[in-house]
A and B are shown apart, each in its own frame.
Chain A
Amino acid sequence: NAGVTQTPKFRILKIGQSMTLQCTQDMNHNYMYWYRQDPGMGLKLIYYSVGAGITDKGEVPNGYNVSRSTTEDFPLRLELAAPSQTSVYFCASSYVRGEDGDTQYFGPGTRLTVL
């Protein structure tokens, strides 16, 4: 049981380039989330998904897109990267029911730098 995995761990992009951050979970969780963490700040929600085929915006969605074609995968797409998107990106998942339903499980993060 690997939990939540993210790739890549590090990436440097040039302004205007695009990339996809991958996230996979093997816990059969229905909810998945993308957060960004800026230095000295808490995490801010970018997008989330309540199940395959259903996604919704979080607090800071501009400049990002997501899709959820399977329960396991929740990729985050950056189009036209900007320096303001330099951050650490965390994917998380949770199960909606039961005593553990409130707990979000986080991946190890992707550190992205846009130059």
Chain B
Amino acid sequence: GNSVTQMEGPVTLSEEAFLTINCTYTATGYPSLFWYVQYPGEGLQLLLKATKADDKGSNKGFEATYRKETTSFHLEKGSVQVSDSAVYFCALRSGSARQLTFGSGTQLTVLP
């Protein structure tokens, strides 16, 4: 079956630090890959996505590249801000199914 493994949290960084959150997956076929973000007290929002190998998704300074050879979709940001403090979820959708398979989430706290 499908599965997503995310870097264990929580992660605490200082403002302007570099961020990497690792995500690897197991799936049949060629999945679409997503990063969702959940701010405190809110529902999940799509941050970025990639639908085929070597695609790079980007949004709000965050980037992730779909690496089929390593089955990875690591999230990066060059300079984090306090406002980036949230829980980040890696997810995949495989084949004709529309439902998502989520990782366990990584809590990020950015200190001023």
Contact = CB atoms under 8 A, between A and B. Distances in A.
Interface of A: 4, 31, 33, 40-45, 48, 50, 58, 90, 92, 94, 96, 102-109
B20 interface: no
Contact of B46 (A41, A43, A45, A103): A103
Residue among A42, A44, A94, A103 with max Cβ neighbours from chain B (10 Å)? A42
A104 B41 CA distance: 18
Interface residues of B, number: 23
B77 interface: no
Interface stretch (B11-19, B64-72, B78-86, B101-109): B101-109
Interface in B18-57: 32, 34, 36, 41-46, 49, 51
Closest 10 CB pairs of A and B: A42-B102, A106-B43, A106-B44, A43-B102, A42-B104, A108-B43, A45-B99, A31-B98, A102-B32, A103-B46
Nearest to B97: A48
A42 B99 contact: no
